[in-house]
Amino acid sequence: MIEPLFVGMYAALCGGVELASRHGANEVINVKTDDAVQKVMEITNGQGCDIVFETAGSPYTLAFTWKCVKTAGVIVNVGNASGEISFVFGELARKAVLKTIIKVTD
C-alpha cells in the first residue's frame, strides 16, 4: 500500500513534469510520452489511485481517468472539457464515484 500522502501528477502541459518534480510530487507521469494507465498500475501495485483529480479539462485525460482510479475510488473533474469524450459510462459507474465542479461565467 502506498502511504496516504503519496502525490503523483500527470503532466500534459509543457514544463509540467519539471514543475511537479520541483514541488514534491513522488511520481510524475507525462501523458504525452508515457502510457499513463500502465504507469499508474505499476506505481500502485495494480490497485489504481484512491482519488484522481482531472484538472486539465482535456477530453484525452478525462477519458482515461477511470482506468487509473481503483474500484470504489473517486474521480474529481475540475477541468472543463469541451467537445466529445468517449468512454463507456456503465464501466465508470461500476468502478468509481465521479464528482465534478461546474463553473458558469457571465
- The answer to whether position 84 is within a domain reads yes
2 in a domain, yes or no?
Answer: no
Indicate the number of domains in the chain. Answer: 1
Q: What is the pLDDT of residues 56-93, one digit of tens each?
A: 777 777 778 888 888 888 888 776 767 777 777 777 77
Which phi and psi angles does 86 have, rounded to 5°? -105, 115
CATH number of the CATH domain containing 19: 3.40.50.720
15 located within any domain: yes
Domain that holds residue 44: 8-100
Q: Is 56 within a domain? A: yes
- 49 assigned to some structural domain: yes
**Whole-number pLDDT of residue 74:** 85
In a domain, 1, yes or no: no
